[in-house]
Amino acid sequence: MTRMARNPEIQIMNARLQAGLLEATRLTRAGQLLEATAMIQRVLRGESTPPAADEPPRADAQTTLEGECRVVESEPAVLTGTVDAAPRASREPAQPDPQRAAASAQGLGARLREKIRQHWREFRKPTPGAEPASVGSPGVVPEGERFVTASYTNYVGTRSYKLYIPSGYHGQPLPLVVMLHGCTQSPDDFAAGTQMNALAEAQLCFVAYPAQTHAANSSKCWNWFKASDQQRDGGEPSLIAGLTRQIADNYSIDPKRIYVAGLSAGGAMAATMATTYPDLYAAAGVHSGLPHGAAQNLPAALAAMQGSQRMSHSRHSTGGSHTDPACVPTIVFHGDRDTTVHPCNGEQVTAQSMSSHAAPGATGAKDALRVIVESGKVPNGHAYTRSTHHDANGRPLVEHWLIHGAGHAWSGGSPRGSYTDPKGPDASREMLRFFYEHPQGAVSRRAS
């Protein structure tokens, strides 16, 4: 051990330097590059570093019902550096040398900044398996396309939305797909991640992206877990249904081909929309979501998300004047490694939809929908199991895609958006295919 290492002031300086650089590395891994840069600057100025962001949440903080964790590196980074020691020939206690320490700190800072640049270059690389951007991708709008902003207001409040209008629209009736984003997302983010606009351009349909507000939920989650937002003609369902009808009034929309889909909190709300407005939506897509009525308050919502609260497969009351049970064909996607919304919720969405199609009084195996199970694998991607449930006439009513190895993310999505997994089967394409196979009235309200 050198004499400089034994000097308390130098030891404190080294400890602060090491702590600051490690914290800057942590921030870099989390993608917080501005914060990491500020941390380096504080270290070089000799200021004390603030504590790492691992403090317990405040008691009054609102719980976020959805989150994402991306592991950039599995091994901790090790920062190494040396501070020149005083000559060994001297037996006098070494005195701190501010210039030498500052030069050493600047050297470490330069190495860390280069490491940050390397991390950033790695972070910005396309996710393995991701497709390059095409002309039809969101953000690159071909001539004739429009992605407009509008809003709808009723007695509950106001919600803005983005509407994609394909270039091939010339007044002819086209389908409409209503896409409900997940927590913390926005219409533009969700459009970029799902790439639904590119499909809509190729297959000619409108796509609407309602936007949740911070005022309604601080994490911009759709409030699927509140009883007041699970009712027909009330709460958020009335806003989503209202803007759907507004679009149908303002454009030439085929009333038999209006669909709803969503991710996570948006997926749970899509299940609610199918249940409360089966006369409006011809089919539904639920990705990483929960069944309608899975919870009526926040504690129950957290329990349902964790898979510790199972619900009956019987239909819940729509809470409105429309009493016909919801028998809306539904396609379900869920990753079997989802730690945000337990995969059992995908099974429950499937079971809930299947129960709506069962004949009155059906209880035995002979009354059950027939199921065909298929397995497959995306080249260089995830394997999956698709279960298709058919009625007695062989018509497909419910599809359940279980994506093996996938977490809480839109399957087959683009890394340009959040919560996406490019290695999965293309959920957007499969949903649109399923929707086009199920116009309103294509299946009876109850299988006979």
Collapsing DSSP to helix, strand or coil, 377 comes out as strand
Q: Residue 138: its pLDDT value, please?
A: 44
At 415, list the tokens: 């890394």
Tokens of 156: 């509950």
**Nearest Cα to Cα of residue 66 among 181, 189, 221:** 221
Spatial separation of the C-alpha atoms in residues 233 and 107, rounded to whole Å: 64
Predicted pLDDT of residue 23: 74
> Exposed, middle or buried: residue 94 (CB in 10 Å: 0-12, 13-18, 19+)?
middle
Instruction: Note the pLDDT of residue 86.
Output: 39
**pLDDT for 355:** 78
Contact 406, 337 (CB under 8 A): yes
Tell if the pTM clears 0.95, that is, is over it.
no
Q: How far is CA 71 from CA 31, 44, 68, 412, in A?
A: 11, 28, 10, 19
Provide the b/e sequence for 158-178 (b: ≥16 CB within 10 Å): ebbbbbbbbeebeeeebbbbb
In total, the chain counts a number of residues equal to 448
The DSSP 8-state label assigned to residue 227 in this structure reads G
Task: Give the up-direction half-sphere exposure of residue 59: CA atoms within 13 A in the CB hemisphere.
Answer: 0
- Note the pLDDT of residue 385: 98
Residue that is written with structure tokens 């004499």 in the block: 3
> What are the tokens at 407?
């977490």
Whole-angstrom CA distances from 319 to 216, 231, 428 are: 21, 5, 31
Q: What share of the chain is helix, strand, coil (3-state, %, to 5)?
A: 35, 20, 50
Instruction: Please report the pLDDT score of residue 123 as a whole number.
Output: 33
What does the DSSP 8-state code read for residue 365?
A: G
**3-class state of residue 45 by DSSP:** coil
Rg of the chain over CA atoms, in angstroms? 27
Q: Tell me how far apart the alpha carbons of residues 58 and 217 are, in angstroms, rounded to a whole number.
A: 17
Contacts by 224-228, CB closer than 8 A, 24 or more apart = 224/265, 224/268, 224/269, 224/271, 224/272, 224/289, 224/290, 224/294, 224/295, 224/301, 225/65, 225/268, 225/294, 225/295, 225/296, 225/297, 225/298, 225/300, 225/301, 225/304, 226/296, 226/297, 227/296, 227/297
* Residue 114: exposure state from Cβ atoms within 10 A (0-12, 13-18, ≥19): exposed
Please name which of 301, 297, 382, 290 lies closest in space to residue 335, comparing C-alpha atoms.
382
Helix (H) or strand (E) holding 179: strand 174-180
Return averaged pLDDT per consecutive 10 residues of the chain, 448 residues in all. 46 62 67 63 59 42 43 34 37 49 53 47 36 40 80 97 96 98 97 97 97 96 96 97 98 98 98 96 97 93 86 48 62 97 96 71 56 96 97 90 98 96 97 96 50
174 vs 10: CA distance, rounded Å: 72
- Sign (positive or negative) of CA dihedral 402, 404, 408, 410: negative
Q: Which residue has the tokens 């749970």?
A: 268
Q: Which two tokens stand for residue 269?
A: 């709300």
Rounded CA-CA distance 100/441 in Å is 80
Alpha-carbon distance of 247 to 260, in angstroms, equals 14
